[in-house]
Structure 1
């Protein structure tokens, strides 16, 4: 695989030089300072490339060009935002960047109730506590129809949990859930979140899926003409939140998207952490079935804390948690072998060690939540070791 590393630009507490020392071969980045709905300026694209090249690596993949809520709902300024998205895509292609990751999650991107939860050994990690989330929905956001979305026992537990929260905990919970895209300065206050949810009133999963297909029908031909690939990131967590539909949570969801706009340029960002939060997702099987269209892999692990669905979970170390990462990497290595045999130029699958626990010096660095230096270095080293062993000529042969 092609080992990449996410970098949030000059504000990132983990530098490109750090990434190179960790073993990364290239960088995943985005222009987080450009407002959603505006085209990325050519000068800013070049500037970001120069910043990365100065430390010896290349900007190889974009994550992400944000898809605005106007585009997702096909309302407001969606036509202007769509035109800007296409312009950004063309400019990136002209700059030599051929792969763009995006997501179509309404209102909220990846959602956690705690961004730095302390594990028993003193590491810090991100966590989704289902009871805390329901307490937020019922008692802080006060969404009118929220209670009907949850079992009575969970509603009661959330009420007890909320009663025990002090004001600092309530403020932190609101801040964490209302956070915007990773790396962005966007976010929602409670009133802003209520307004954003109101835009989706009456918009169900079928309608949102139709809007995704309409978006792809516009942008995939642009990607094809530029020789580029798009790859959709899955829902995180992979179930409906705050009454909002989620449409990329299962293999069937992805298959519907790929079949609706059947092009090699329309592909998948296979995130083992997002998809792995659902116990009914068989990740190795999903890779086998979706393999030809997987353009990017986010490799991370989550520990599901309860057997229920939906559930509480936290970000585990890369080889721990609910996902069999050896089986996952084995499927990706097998797909690369198939691509080489078929003569595909894109036989190497882009991957990055996604998220990571804050350990050792990470605990004082203050990096972007989920994106520490040493925690990701550990993950990349572990994943690289698995890949190297599986790809070795002696793999599968009995010792002499």
Structure 2
């Protein structure tokens, strides 16, 4: 792309064609960068790591890193993967991959001022969900309480007091590998056969099954890379339980995307049978409550050092407390007919003040 007079910086989107839910949606809006102060480029991780990079004319380059689907599906969670989902090996491989990305960018764009929306280090680091939760707690961002329970006796003691919990994979995502434990029932979307915890072979359809009283299953999780947190009772709206995906960009809440499911469902993840709702779904809620949720989402992204994130928030059934469930560095974009996030991002990129672009050393 030839540099036009007045272009301040180049935006380089890095990702794979398999990313139909985010990168490809942004790429479809590339014409909006025409005749603007931003030069737009797109490149795959494969081309980047091979050194086959575009000839960028501007001095400043802002990299927008998307999820590396090709690498993930080949080296971290391949079709024949037989291990437990979300273990530490996932994180180590993910971290090594983004270290390679950062090193390659430095070598390939010598003499340029390199910036990232979210740095490679943070892009990998967010995968450690427990570390992110501890960061939020340190910054006083409300998030469900963590429990350091590693034995069945302690678990049963908590259950006898009427408490309910989630056991989650420390390095997981997308609502996969979730186990719900309450005094009345235990459910998981793992498989448990022949005393082995098994993962499903797809990102979708992780259906929950009853495993009430299966102590051996819980012991397996206690001995693995899992953490336990309080199970907050969701507020229901229009007969549905729901959470809020709030898209935060450089300290601003761009859009609130409600996700809903049946009240008896364990999660609201769209990948696990949840549904996206229009903004009108939230009209019965007080505006002050929505503003609180936006503030907490912005605070959560800031606590993790992220300039762009999809922050998942729940409201408790009494509408008194708001909790940040998760921070997503690679959030899927809403359906276009609900909200064209890619279109709005292009506008914000064109308006982004140079001082907002944080240089990465």
More strand per residue: 1 or 2?
A: 2
More helix per residue: 1 or 2?
A: 1
Task: Using structure 1 for the length normalisation, give the TM-score.
Answer: 0.31
